[in-house]
Amino acid sequence: MDKPIRKTYKCISISLTQESYDKALAYCRKTPYQTLSAYGRKLLTQEPITVYYRNKSFDEFTESYILFKNSMEIILVRGNFNDYEKQRLLADIVDIKEIINKIYDHVRENKSLF
């Protein structure tokens, strides 16, 4: 019976202080790699690394926008606006949605590090 062919791997051991290890682990958690080893291999071989970026102020803005949008929709239903004012407010909400989507796409596209 033929033995399966095994790939040979070389092992590299690196000693780090606790502070350096914590820092490396924090960077690793911002990537899609589930282990520090996978992240380290990408760094050592200089392959592109995708980094997830969360912008707290953008998150807060998005949350505020959603509350604002919901409030505006309630005002439109309950308010004493004429048809022109209602259409204008609806158009403004659509414009705001488009701007939010553009900002989101821009942030998502420009936050990958290579």
| DSSP secondary structure letter of residue 35 | S
Cβ atoms of 4 and 22 within 8 Å: the answer is no
CA pseudo-torsion sign 22, 24, 7, 4: positive
End-to-end CA distance of the chain: 46
The pLDDT, as a whole number, for residue 52 is 66
Cα 37 from Cα 25, distance rounded (Å): 10
- Write the pLDDT tens digit of every residue in 1-46: 567 776 767 888 889 999 999 999 988 888 888 889 888 888 888 8
- Write the pLDDT tens digit of every residue in 45-104: 888 887 766 666 666 777 777 878 887 777 777 777 778 877 887 888 888 888 888 877
* Nearest-5° Cα angle at 21, 17 to 24: 140
**H helices present in 1-114, as ranges:** 18-29, 36-44, 56-78, 83-109
